[in-house]
Amino acid sequence: MRYLILSDIHSNHEALSAVLKHVRRKRWDKVVFLGDLVGYGANPNQTVDMLRKLRPLVGIRGNHDKVCSGLESGEMFNRVALEAAMWTRRKLTRSNLLWLKALPKGPAIVDQSFAISHGTPVDEDAYIFGEIEALNVFRRTPHEVCFFGHSHFPVIFALSPDAITTVLTVAPAFRYKLQPGVRYLINPGSIGQPRDGNPLASFAIYDSDAPAVTIYRIAYRVAEAQSKILKAGLPRPLADRLALGR
């Protein structure tokens, strides 16, 4: 089975459109979404509509989905994130707001094969930035393969019986073969707001039969997404960071 793994889209219609156009000629069976469909960008309804059309879909909520749909107040958000979330809440159609609100809390198990979480499978709002956090998650969970999002950069943590290693990808398409006896925490990166210093949209395809994961980086119309953010009256830093990838 081949899974298209999407995360942290953040209302960026240009980036999601480019990703879906790019994968049109690739074979994939199911879409898996790791949360944060909305928040930050200027096209919340368009991105929710696009994802809703992708079936079959396994999806979980992110912290921005919770605040934008009114499940949480956003008191932990910084000023820019909160302003964007409140704007998004006002813009969402009732149908899309209810759909976002109903996204299940992670972790979820996909096809009895692998796990997905937004932050970590222990705490949906916690971050995995480095090996110490990854090691703590490995110790507290049973999953052999778990995909996660939230930190907005693509990375693979691999736990063998005697060491943990980090793989940071820099290629436009990076295929990584999974080994037996090794456990993995894999972040496909962010589609709508990458934060690894590379502005290209990031996503993954996981082939569970190989097994192997490929992380892709693709260009999209950043200037268009930026001008929509400014036209909507959203905070300028949200537009600026898209060009910087951080």
Instruction: Give the sign of the dihedral formed by CA 48, CA 58, CA 84, CA 194.
Output: negative
Q: How far is the CB of 34 from Fe ion (least distance, A)?
A: 9
Residue 93 three-state SS = coil
Rule CB under 5 A: say whether 196 interacts with Fe ion.
no
Q: How far is the CB of 77 from Fe ion (least distance, A)?
A: 11
Considering only the stretches 2-10, 25-33, 107-115, 217-225, report the one whose residues sit in contact with Fe ion under the rule CB under 5 A: 2-10
Closer residue to Fe ion, CB minimum distance, 126 or 164: 126
Q: How many residues touch Fe ion (CB under 5 A)?
A: 2
Q: How far is the CB of 246 from Fe ion (least distance, A)?
A: 13
Q: Exposed, middle or buried by CB within 10 Å (0-12, 13-18, 19+), for 201?
A: buried
Considering only the stretches 1-9, 11-19, 77-85, 109-117, report the one whose residues sit in contact with Fe ion under the rule CB under 5 A: 1-9
Considering only the stretches 7-15, 51-59, 200-208, 230-238, report the one whose residues sit in contact with Fe ion under the rule CB under 5 A: 7-15
Q: Which of 14, 36, 65, 196 binds Fe ion (CB under 5 A)?
A: 36
Rule CB under 5 A: say whether 8 interacts with Fe ion.
yes
The residues, any chain, with a CB within 8 Å of residue 61's CB and separated by 6 or more, are 35, 71, 100, 103, 104, 105, 106, 118, 124
What would the two tokens of residue 86 be? 């409140």
Rule CB under 5 A: say whether 65 interacts with Fe ion.
no
Distance CA 44, CA 50 (A): 10
Distance CA 229, CA 65 (A): 18
* Single-letter code of the amino acid located at 158: A
Q: How far is the CB of 158 from Fe ion (least distance, A)?
A: 23
Closest CA to 185 of 105, 129, 110: 129
CB-nearest residue to Fe ion: 36
Q: How far is the CB of 60 from Fe ion (least distance, A)?
A: 12
* Interface positions with Fe ion (CB under 5 A): 8, 36
